[in-house]
Amino acid sequence: MTKRKPIKKAVFPVAGLGTRFLPATKVIPKEMLPVIDRPLIQYAVDEAREAGIEQMIFVTGRGKTAIVEHFDVAFELETMMSERGKDLSILEPTRAVPGDIITVRQQVPLGLGHAIWCARAIVGDDPFAIFLPDELMIGSPGCMKQMVEAYNEVGGNLISVLEIPREEVSSYGVIDPGEENGALTVVKGLVEKPPVEQAPSNKIISGRYILQPEVMRTLENQEKGAGGEIQLTDAMARMIGSQPFHAVTFEGRRFDCGSKTGFIEATIALALEREDMGAEIRAITERLLGR
């Protein structure tokens, strides 16, 4: 197997305003909204760590300091818990090794592609991962670990995809597929929200990426696309053909926590699987449904 430069850096674009969750997100970043007892950003960071990623790059905006503070040492809280004999292990995933969390600002909301470009100096000449925390990906192993394993085989650029019913593809970006080999599919093109009858596949792009650093040079000169924003999809499409480009079909579940219904679905689904509350939550849902 060809030795490839390892994926050790990940970019988390977290500068969005979260308007769909107002008024809850007026002062609380949407990435800090908890699914049961972990904020969305924690799920994404835990997934990154499982995949061997060491450096987390948060592209933030105004009012997002709580995200960084979540991964700091809470001295007063930990001292109080320790004095009262409480278990501190629950806080272990929230403690970052010094230097592992880096933040950059996206001062103007010019789109996902622009947010990724804001991290260019930190990414440097290294391949890197991208996590969209709104997309809660649950699997064992996690989505990014599956992608890193695929990257070690084929290199180049990779995106995660999920297969959905064809009649739903018009709401998503889909791939134009080439040769398939197990979970890997060669990507010949990317199509944003195609009409059902024109969709080249039912494999939708789903919030996890591994990209080569050349994408930053592409974004540097990227013109504005849909919505008057600099689109990451447009930059990736321009790289197809010049570098290997594959999709990894994720073996797991995806929850769209950027929508209220998806957020509630994720909370219920994960709660039902918890040993400490699953039976009680099942009884509650059945009672609410009148069963």
CATH number of this structure's domain 9-258: 3.90.550.10
Asked if residues 206 and 117 have their Cβ atoms less than 8 Å apart, the reply is: no
Asked if the model's pLDDT at residue 224 lies above 80, the reply is no
- Over residues 127-134, the mean pLDDT reads 96
Residue 225 pLDDT grade (very low, low, confident, very high; cuts 50, 70, 90): low
pLDDT exceeds cutoff 60 at 88: yes
pLDDT of residue 223: 65
226-272: per-residue pLDDT in tens? 666 778 888 888 889 888 999 999 999 999 999 999 999 999 999 99
pLDDT band at 124 (very low <50, low <70, confident <90, very high): very high
pLDDT of residue 286: 92
pLDDT grade for 197, boundaries at 50, 70 and 90? confident
Residue 2, pLDDT > 80, answer: no
Instruction: Return mean pLDDT, the chain.
Output: 90
Two tokens, residue 76: 């007063």
Confidence at residue 135, expressed as pLDDT on a 0 to 100 scale: 94
Model confidence, pTM: 0.92
pLDDT of the residue at 103: 92
1 pLDDT above the threshold of 60: no
pLDDT at residue 168, rounded to an integer: 87
Give residue 169's pLDDT band: very low, low, confident or very high (50, 70, 90).
confident
- Residue of 152 and 291 predicted with greater confidence: 152
pLDDT tens readout for residues 15-24: 888 889 999 9
Give the start-to-end residue ranges of the domains of the chain: 9-258, 259-291
The predicted pLDDT at position 226 comes to 60
